[in-house]
Structure 1
Amino acid sequence: MAPRRTRLAQRRKALGYSQESFAEALGVAVSTVTRWEAGRNDPQGYVHPKMATALKVTPEGLADLLTPEVTAPDRSVLYAAAPPLGDTDDMKRRDVLSLLAVTGALIALPGSERPSSRSGTAASLAEAGPELNSHLWKVFVLSGSKQAVYPMVRHQLGLLAKGLGESQSGASHRQLCALVGDLYQLAGEIFFDANRYTDAAHCYTLAASASREAGAFDMWACALTRHAFVELYERRFTVAAPILAAASQIAERGDSQLSTRYWVAAVQAEVHAGLGDLDATKRALDDAEQVHSLSGQLHNGGWLRFDGSRLAEERGTCYLALGRADLAEQALTAALSQQLSLRRRGAVLAELAALSAERRDLDKTSHYTRAALELVDQTGSGFISRKVQGVRSRLSPLMADGRASALHQQISALDSAPLAKE
C-alpha cells in the first residue's frame, strides 16, 4: 500500500476545506485530491503555487506536506513479495541493466539438448509462465499508473533468468526464451511510458534476441516495432525506418492470421509522415486497414494488441505531422468519440491541442491541453506527458496572448514534475 499524506489532509481540514472545495480551488478533480492524499499520485509542478497559497504555507512547507508518511512494513509481507527495487531511479536502472546482461548471456547459450530438469524454476516457469505473463499484461493495460506494475514484472524477470541458468533441453530453452521475449517487451513498455527511452530500447533489444532464439517470428517483429517506437518518439525517423523494414520482413514469416504485419504498417505510416512523405503514409495506412479483413483471434492481448481500433487516431497523428489540419481534425475527432483507455485519450487530447494551436484557436487549445494535463496528473503517464509537451512549440507564435503564456508555463512544469509512484 502506498504511504499516505496524512499531514496534507490534516492541513486541508484545518483550513476548512473539504476535498471537494479544495479541488475546486485548485481547478482539479476531487478524485485527484483523493489520490494525492492517499499517496498514489504526486501533484504536478504547475499546481504547487496554487496549493501553497490555498494551504497558506511556504514552498518549503508545501514540500513537507507532500512528503508521504512511511510506516514500518510488515516483514512477513515484505519477504513474500517481489524483491525491493531500491530507493532511487538510478538504482532501479542499474538493477535492470544487470539483469539484462545476465539474461542476455543465458539466452545466447545454445540449446544443445541438455538433460532437462524435472523440477525447479525452469519447470515451474514452463508450466505457469505463459499464464502469469498474460496476467501481467492485463494488469499493465488496466493500471492507471503503469509504473506500479514494475515490481511484479521485475520479480518474474528474475525468475526467468534463474530458470535459464538451470540445466534444460533445447526445447525447454526455446520455451523460456519465448517467455523472456514476451515479458521484456512489457518491461520496455513500462520504461517507455516513463519516458526512459534508453532503458526501454535495451529491453526491446533483448526481447527481440530472445524471440529470435525461440523461433517466434511474430513476437520478434513486435519487439522490433516497439524498438522503432523509441526512435519515432525521439523524432529519429531515418533510424526507425530500417528497423521497421526488418520487422516487416520478419512479420511476413509469422502467422498470417495475426495482425502483426498490419501493426508494423501502421507504425511505418507514422515514420513516413515524420519524413514528410504523404503518399507513402497513405499507402502504409491503407495496408494497416487490411487488418479488418482478418477473422478470429487476431491478437493475444499482450505483446500483440493491434486490432485496427486505433487507426483513426493514428491517421490523425500522421496528418498532423504532415501539416494536413483538415484531415487530422476529422480523424482525431472520430477517435475521441470512441471508448479509449486513459493513456490513449490523453494522447488524442494532446494532438487536438496541438492542432488547435496551429489554427491559433486558444480557447480550444486551452480546453484540450488542460484535459490532457488532468490525465497526466491522474495516471502519472510519461507517455501522455511527452505528447502534451509537443504542444509547447506550437504555442511559441502565440505567446503575446496571456492564455498561451499560461499554457506554456503549465506544460513546462512537466519537465521537472515527478511521475506518479505507487
Structure 2
Amino acid sequence: MGHPVGHARRHSLAQRRRSVGLSQDELAHALGIERSTIVRWEAGRTEPQAWVRPPLARALQLSEEQLDDVLHAESASPDAVDRRAFAGLATALALAPLARARTGSQIGATQVRQLRQRTARLRRLDDHLGGMDTYGVYTSEMDATAKLIKTASYSSTTARALTGVFAEQAQMAGWAAFDAGRYVESRRHYRAALSAAKESGDPGLEGNSLAFIAYEKADTQTAAQSTRVAGTRTTPRVRALLHERLAWAYAVSGQVSATARALDAAVAAVNESSHFPEPDWVFWVDPLEIDIMAGRCYTELGRPARAVPLLDDALSRYDDTHSRDKALYSTWLAHALMDADDPERAAYVTEHAIDLASGVGSVRPGERLRGVLSRLTRYGGPEVAAVLERARG
C-alpha cells in the first residue's frame, strides 16, 4: 500500500525504507554504494551527499523535497527518542490503576483475570526496554501479588490461579534481573517461580521455570528436564519454546545431533495447530523466533553455512524498534560471518548492532559486542578499521 504524500514527514529514513519494502542491502545496491553508508544515514551520523539524493528519492518513492523532510525529521523518529523517557511513559501506561483487594477480603475469578491482563501488559515492556528499566516494575508487581496471596481470602481454585500468576511475574523479574546483569537476583526469582509453578499445578509454567534456570548456564540436564516436565500436556508454542531452549543448551555444549533434534521438535511444535489457547507468556514464540534460535545454535556449533542464511533472513524481517534483541542477534550473525571468512560484512553488521545497542538498559548487548570487536581485531580492511575506531571512540 502506498503512503500519502502529505504523510512523508512522519517517517524517518529507516522507516521510509521499510515502508517501500527495501532492505538496507537492497537500497545500497540500487544506489551503487556500501551498506555501511546506509547505516550511517539511518543512525543520523551523516547525511546523503547532493549527488545521491535524486536516486535516493526515487528509490524511496519521494520527491527530493519530501526526502529533505524525511531527513530533517530523523531526529524526531522513535529510534532517536530517549529510551529512558519511553520507559517512564510505557511503564505509566502499563501500570493503569488496578483495584487491590483489602486485607482479608474475598477475591475470585474476576480479580485473577484483571491481574493476568495487567501482567500481560507489563510483559510487553520487555519488547522495547531492557532489564535495567523493567526490573523494579516487575519486582514491585510480584511483591504486591505475594502480599495478596498472604492476606486475601479465596477458594482453592483461585489459590492455584493466583500462584500461577505469581510464577509468571517471578519469571519476568528473573529475566529482567538477568538482562540487567543481576545474576544472584535472577536465580532467586527463578527458584521462586519454579516453586510457585509446581504449587499451581501448571506443567507448562514449571517447565518454563526450569528452562529459564537452564538458559543462564546452558545446563543441558535441566533444559531436558523442562521438556519432560511439560511433556505433551502443554500447548504447541510452549513446547516450541522449551525445545528451542534445549537446542541452545545442546549447541553451547557442542552436541550437533542433539541440537538438530531439539530444533526439529521446536519447528514441528510451532507449526502445529491447536484448539487450545496459548498462555500469554509465549505470545512472542513464532517461526521467526525459531529461525533466530537455529541461527544462533549453528553459529555456536561453528556451522556458518547454516547460520548465515537463517540469521540474514530472520534479521531482515526483525524490526529495529526491538533494538536490544536485534543488536544481540546481530552479534551471532557477525560471528558467523567471520567464521565464513567475510569480515567486511561482519563489520557492517557490528556497526549496526552498536547503533541498536546505544542506550539500551541491558548488559547483554555490550558483553556480546566486546567479544565480536575483539575477534574483529584479527582482520584488516577499511570497513573493519572503521568500526574498531568507532568502538574505541
The Cα offsets for residues 68-126 of structure 1, whole Å up to 9 and x where unpaired, read as xxxxxxxxx9xx999xxxxxxxxxxxxxxxxxxxxxxxxxxxxxxxxx94448x99853
Distance 1:374 1:334, change over 3 A: same
| 1:24 maps to amino acid | R
TM-superposed CA distance for 1:214, in Å, is 0.7
Equivalent residue for 2:259, pick from 262, 276, 281: 281
Distance 1:379 1:166, change over 3 A: same
Partner residue, 2:45: 24
Q: Report the Cα distance in structure 1 between the residues aligned to 2:150 and 2:389, rounded to whole angstroms.
A: 51
Query: 8 Å contact 1:125–1:176 — kept in the other structure?
Result: no
Q: Report the Cα distance in structure 2 between the residues aligned to 1:275 and 1:215, rounded to whole angstroms.
A: 31
Q: Report the Cα distance in structure 2 between the residues aligned to 1:222 and 1:268, rounded to whole angstroms.
A: 11
Query: 8 Å contact 2:330–2:350 — kept in the other structure?
Result: yes
The aligned runs of 1:13-412 (5 Å cut-off) are 24=45, 30=75, 35=81, 40=85, 117-119=104-106, 125-126=111-112, 128-141=114-127, 143-166=128-151, 168=153, 169-232=155-218, 240-252=219-231, 254-255=233-234, 257-291=235-269, 292-296=271-275, 299-302=278-281, 305-340=284-319, 341-398=322-379, 404=384, 407=387
What number of residue pairs does the alignment pair up?
313
Query: 8 Å contact 1:117–1:123 — kept in the other structure?
Result: no
TM-superposed CA distance for 1:384, in Å, is 2.8
Query: 8 Å contact 1:174–1:213 — kept in the other structure?
Result: yes
TM-superposed CA distance for 1:193, in Å, is 2.1
| 1:389 maps to amino acid | R
Query: 8 Å contact 1:125–1:163 — kept in the other structure?
Result: no
| 2:226 maps to amino acid | A
Q: Report the Cα distance in structure 2 between the residues aligned to 1:347 and 1:39, rounded to whole angstroms.
A: 19
The Cα offsets for residues 322-352 of structure 1, whole Å up to 9 and x where unpaired, read as 1111111111112122234333322232122
SS in 2 for 1:130: helix
Query: 8 Å contact 2:248–2:259 — kept in the other structure?
Result: yes
Distance 1:410 1:180, change over 3 A: farther
Q: Which has the higher contact order (CA 8 A, sep 6+)?
A: 1
Q: Report the Cα distance in structure 1 between the residues aligned to 2:198 and 2:255, rounded to whole angstroms.
A: 32
Distance 1:313 1:174, change over 3 A: same
Q: Report the Cα distance in structure 1 between the residues aligned to 2:293 and 2:171, rounded to whole angstroms.
A: 21
| TM-score normalised per structure 2 | 0.68
Deviates more, 1:169-178 or 1:198-207: 169-178
The Cα offsets for residues 233-272 of structure 1, whole Å up to 9 and x where unpaired, read as xxxxxxx1111121111111632x3322222211111222
Query: 8 Å contact 2:323–2:357 — kept in the other structure?
Result: no
| 2:231 maps to amino acid | E
Distance 1:231 1:410, change over 3 A: farther
The Cα offsets for residues 365-411 of structure 1, whole Å up to 9 and x where unpaired, read as 2211110011111533333333323313433533x668656645766
SS in 2 for 1:323: coil
Q: Report the Cα distance in structure 2 between the residues aligned to 1:171 and 1:33, rounded to whole angstroms.
A: 45
Q: Report the Cα distance in structure 2 between the residues aligned to 1:373 and 1:221, rounded to whole angstroms.
A: 34
Report sequence identity in percent. Answer: 22
Q: Report the Cα distance in structure 1 between the residues aligned to 2:276 and 2:388, rounded to whole angstroms.
A: 45
Q: Report the Cα distance in structure 2 between the residues aligned to 1:133 and 1:262, rounded to whole angstroms.
A: 22
| TM-score normalised per structure 1 | 0.64
SS in 1 for 2:45: helix
SS in 2 for 1:302: helix
Distance 1:158 1:385, change over 3 A: same
SS in 2 for 1:310: helix
TM-superposed CA distance for 1:280, in Å, is 1.4
| 1:188 maps to amino acid | G
Query: 8 Å contact 1:32–1:377 — kept in the other structure?
Result: no
SS in 2 for 1:165: helix
Query: 8 Å contact 2:84–2:133 — kept in the other structure?
Result: no
Deviates more, 1:168-177 or 1:274-283: 168-177
The Cα offsets for residues 171-199 of structure 1, whole Å up to 9 and x where unpaired, read as 44322211110111111221222233332
Deviates more, 1:258-267 or 1:220-229: 258-267
Distance 1:411 1:321, change over 3 A: farther
- Gapped regions of structure 1 (runs ≥ 5): 1-19, 42-76, 83-115, 233-239, 414-422
Partner residue, 1:16: none
Query: 8 Å contact 1:211–1:220 — kept in the other structure?
Result: yes
Distance 1:330 1:140, change over 3 A: closer
TM-superposed CA distance for 1:165, in Å, is 1.9
Q: Report the Cα distance in structure 2 between the residues aligned to 1:412 and 1:299, rounded to whole angstroms.
A: 46
Distance 1:412 1:285, change over 3 A: farther
Distance 1:297 1:193, change over 3 A: farther
Q: Report the Cα distance in structure 2 between the residues aligned to 1:212 and 1:160, rounded to whole angstroms.
A: 17
Query: 8 Å contact 2:295–2:307 — kept in the other structure?
Result: yes
Query: 8 Å contact 1:192–1:200 — kept in the other structure?
Result: yes
| 2:141 maps to amino acid | Q
Q: Report the Cα distance in structure 2 between the residues aligned to 1:166 and 1:137, rounded to whole angstroms.
A: 25
Query: 8 Å contact 1:315–1:331 — kept in the other structure?
Result: yes
Distance 1:277 1:151, change over 3 A: closer
Distance 1:195 1:303, change over 3 A: farther
Query: 8 Å contact 1:350–1:372 — kept in the other structure?
Result: yes
Distance 1:128 1:407, change over 3 A: same
- Gapped regions of structure 2 (runs ≥ 5): 1-40, 48-73, 87-91, 98-102
